[in-house]
Amino acid sequence: MVSLIHSRRSCLLGLLLGVLAFPVLGQTWQPMGPSGGDVRTLAADPSDPKRLFLGTADGHIFESTDAGDHWMILGRAGTRQDSVVTAIVVDPRDGDSVLAAAWTQDPAAGGGIYRSTDGGKTWRDSGLSGHAVRALAAAPSDPDILVAGAVDGAYRSGDAGKTWQRISPAGDEELRNLDSVAIDPKNPDVIYVGTYHLPWKTSDAGKKWSPIHQGMIDDSDVMSIIVDRTNSRRVYASACSGIYLSEDSAAGWRKIQGIPYSARRTQAILQDPVAPAIVYAATTEGLWKTSSAGSNWMRLTPEDWIINSVLTLPGNSEISRRVVIGTEKLGVLVSDDNGKHFRASNDGFYHRQIVALALDPARSGRVLAVLANAPDPILATEDGGKTWAPLGPGLGTGNLRHVYASPDGWWASLGRGGLVRYSAEHSLWMPAGKLTLDAARTIATAELHEGRRRARPMASAESELALSVNDMTFCKTAWYAATDEGLLRSMDHGTTWSLQPLGPLPTLPVRSVRVSRDGSDLWVVSLRGLVFSQDGGKTWSWHDLPLNSGGAQWLDVALDAEPGQPETIVAAAENGLYLSADGGKAWHLVGSGLPQAPIQDLAIEGSTFLASMRGGGLYLSRDRGENWARVSGTLAEGFFPVVTTEEQATRLFAASATEGLYAVQLTLPTHTASRDASPR
């Protein structure tokens, strides 16, 4: 797993959502990609089929007004960041009236139904708060009638979702854990629901329910139900045991053949709006289609595509209709030849989980991003996010700890220990770095003395660098690496590493390190406190935060000290952010307006500080951390474990756990970059 506690040079993880107006800065967050990601559900506006809505697993709603060619984020249904949007229903009489159903990944929070009256820009609670709603359907014959399927039962609204009434028996052991809902196209009192176990039906709006599982394998999780709009006696149901068809209003079922068992976890089924015999099945092994009401099936996509949702949009003929699918990892794909060929259509849909980030200090716009749950886990951009490309094999995200932009290119530290670098010549990641013999012997002796592990054999003048690297920093004369076995220094751009003793302690565990550009100043967070040097590591002075701080986790250094004046040092501790303006002699807890809570990370550009809180939210200070304001807007709702900034630039970067990479341009005084610390 990629470590989420990263140095200040890496990334901002969390839920960054769309383009944000930044009122404190008077600027705008601009998306840098990469595009794509996970789609949970899709819906079309019945009054305008080119207008589509998309829901995600973090509560966000996206919109397309051109049938899926371009997307833009609208907002979040609800306030929670763990809300999984399970269904979106658009009122056919008013396309700006939209309902979204959601359940939260925290069982105690539940979920609910959320309403927007401005086309998804703002949302408010519309009932069933605290209920984990996993399905929502509107009656085709009366859009005021809605049925919601929740973990604790079925609910019905007769006033377009303004109020809700339970229509399943409270506490019923079977009519619970609902996963799907369908309403008869002509008679809204006829309702079908699928549970984690089996399906049920009511013909009187919930007064009486009957099990309808004849012919269905027992213990089938019914994930989707649809009723044929031209023949309401024909009902389709998808379950973990396969796809079933009933020709007698679900009195009996027969399993539809033709789809392999491995692909039968069907997330959704959809009847073509023009040709009733055409039915699509969105499965965990691709999109399937039948043109004969289930008699024969064919797979339209590669089998490794996981399809969560599918739409078909009107066209001039059956052949020209557009098919839109929402997937895991690949985002949105569309076909304009009725499913024969698909192409990615993710322009504006940024829903990537970035778990590590590095900026090239020598080339503006050159960024390395490490993604989770993506077809290409390592991506790089040379043009500020306009285009992204995979960056070579040899580096798996499951073994990645951190990534860094060195003066000689991309480097990464591994979870199992050691370093790798990206070779542009060979287009792959390669092991890099060796310990000098003296360093290896010193570390091995310390390990034996402390009883931690057996000494490594020293058969040659150098030993493979297998230590876990917590942090790296670079200057003109040397590179430094913070490890649990001590501070390492390289004078040959990472080829060999020696120990840099912190006074008499050569193997003191080091959490983070900073160095000035000329290499004269070093700032280190060790296991025993803060230790600084003003002569390139020849002599060291020890410093402590106040006793109630909880101890320093990492530090950063402001870049705007006047020549001959001490740098402003900022140390993050368990209970807040501490600042020293005199080289670490005195510290004070900063932040009027900053919560007394652990800070996840900090980006500094002159007198501007941007802090991300471990509990969520971004806070900005324009006066060196003395006064803070919470960043408002969509971004403010997210978790931001790490922030970073370009060296000597006026841009701050935020890379999210779901919404990709964003940048904001700052307007700063011209004197703020007179002296800076090591490249980030």
Which residue's entry shows tokens 């942090």?
471
- Judge whether 248 and 205 are in contact, CB under 8 Å: no
Backbone phi, then psi, for 6, in 5-degree steps?
-120, 160
Per the structure, the complete domain to which residue 554 belongs is given by 352-672
Residue 263's Cα: distance from chain center in Å? Answer: 27
Percent of the chain with pLDDT over 90: 48
3 state SS for 198-244 = CEEEECCCCCCCEECCCCCCCCCCEEEEEECCCCCCCEEEEECCEEE
- Of the listed ranges 25-39, 90-104, 239-253, 373-387, the one predicted with least confidence: 25-39
Q: How confident is the model at residue 362 (pLDDT cuts 50, 70, 90)?
A: confident
At residue 8, the pLDDT reads: 37
pLDDT tens, residue by residue, 138-155: 999 999 999 999 999 999
Identify the weakest region by mean pLDDT among 103-112, 417-426, 603-612.
Answer: 603-612
Of residues 16 and 120, the one with the higher pLDDT is 120
- What pLDDT digit, counting tens, does each position of 433-457 carry? 999 988 888 888 877 766 555 444 4
pLDDT bucket at 393, cuts 50 / 70 / 90: confident
Look up residue 229 and give its two tokens.
């709009």
pTM, full prediction: 0.83
- Taking residues 477-482, report their average pLDDT: 96
**Predicted pLDDT of residue 636:** 52
| pLDDT at residue number 392 | 79
What 3-state DSSP class applies to 335?
strand
Q: For residue 644, what is the domain's CATH number? A: 2.130.10.10
Within-domain flag for 168? no
Residue 44 token pair: 């079309």
Least confident piece of the model among 129-133, 139-143, 197-201, 413-417:
413-417
* 83-87, 337-341, 352-356, 439-443, range with the lowest pLDDT: 352-356
Compute the mean pLDDT over every residue in the chain, rounded to the nearest whole number: 83
Name the pLDDT band for 461 (thresholds 50, 70, 90): low
Locate the DSSP E strands across 581-679.
588-589, 599-605, 608-613, 618-621, 629-630, 644-645, 651-655, 661-665
Helix (H, G, I), strand (E, B) or coil at 399: helix
Q: In this model, does residue 190 exceed pLDDT 70?
A: yes
Q: For 183-196, what is the mean pLDDT?
A: 96
Residue 124 lies in a domain: no
pLDDT at 595: 80
- Residue pair 61/77 in contact (Cβ under 8 Å)? The answer is yes
Q: Which string of b and e fits 462-471 if b means at least 16 CB within 10 Å?
A: bbebbbbbbb
Over range 111-118, report the average pLDDT: 95
Question: Is 15 contained in some domain?
Answer: no
CA–CA separation, 225 and 182 (whole Å): 6
> 608: closest CA among 564, 664, 542, 537?
664
- Residue of 288 and 563 predicted with greater confidence: 288
Ranges 78-82, 217-221, 359-363, 666-670: which has the least confidence? 666-670
How is residue 436 written in tokens?
Answer: 């000098």
Q: Count of domains in the chain? A: 1
Whether 252 maps to a domain, the answer reads no
E strand intervals along 373-476: 378-381, 389-390, 400-406, 409-414, 419-423, 428-432, 434-436, 462-464, 469-474
* pLDDT tens for each residue of 227-272: 999 999 999 998 888 889 999 999 999 988 777 665 568 889 999 8
Check whether 396 has a pLDDT greater than 70: no
Taking the CB of residue 27, how many other CB atoms lie within 10 A of it?
Answer: 18
Task: Please state which of the ranges 229-233, 479-483, 569-573, 629-633 shows the lowest mean pLDDT.
Answer: 629-633
Residue 595 lies in a domain: yes
User: 550 to each of 150, 408, 657, how far by Cα in Å?
Assistant: 44, 37, 28
With beta carbons less than 8 A apart as the criterion, state whether 127 and 136 touch: no
Tell whether the model's pLDDT for residue 608 goes beyond 80.
no
Q: What is the pLDDT of residue 16?
A: 30
- Looking at residue 183, its pLDDT comes to 97
Is the pLDDT at 398 greater than 70? The verdict is: no
Reported confidence tier of residue 309, pLDDT bands at 50, 70, 90: very high
> What's the angle, vertex CA 81, arms to CA 143 and CA 151, rounded to 5?
55
CA-based nearest residue to 487, from 475, 471, 465: 471
pLDDT score at 397: 62
Residue with tokens 């990944």: 105
- Alpha carbon distances (Å) from 135 to 66, 111, 182, 327, 475: 26, 12, 9, 18, 56
Q: What is the pLDDT of residues 8-44, one digit of tens each?
A: 333 333 323 223 333 444 446 678 889 999 999 999 9
* Residue 585 to residue 580: CA distance in whole angstroms: 7
Residue 319, pLDDT above cutoff 50: yes
Q: What percent of the chain has a predicted confidence (pLDDT) above 70?
A: 84
For residue 387, give the nearest of 65, 66, 35 by alpha carbon: 35
pLDDT band per the 50, 70, 90 thresholds, residue 361: confident
pLDDT tens for each residue of 646-673:
554 466 777 776 777 877 665 544 433 3
In a domain, 550, yes or no: yes
What pLDDT, on a 0 to 100 scale, did the predictor assign at position 589?
A: 86
Q: What is the C-alpha separation between 198 and 239, in angstroms, rounded? A: 9
- 34 preceded by cis ω (within 30°)? yes
* Residue 464 forms part of a structural domain: yes
Q: Are 570 and 593 in contact (CB under 8 A)?
A: no
DSSP 439: H
185 half-sphere exposure, CB direction, 13 A CA radius: 13
**Among the residues of 503-559, which ranges form H helices?**
none
pLDDT of 20: 35
Q: Is residue 306 part of a domain?
A: no
pLDDT at 39: 96
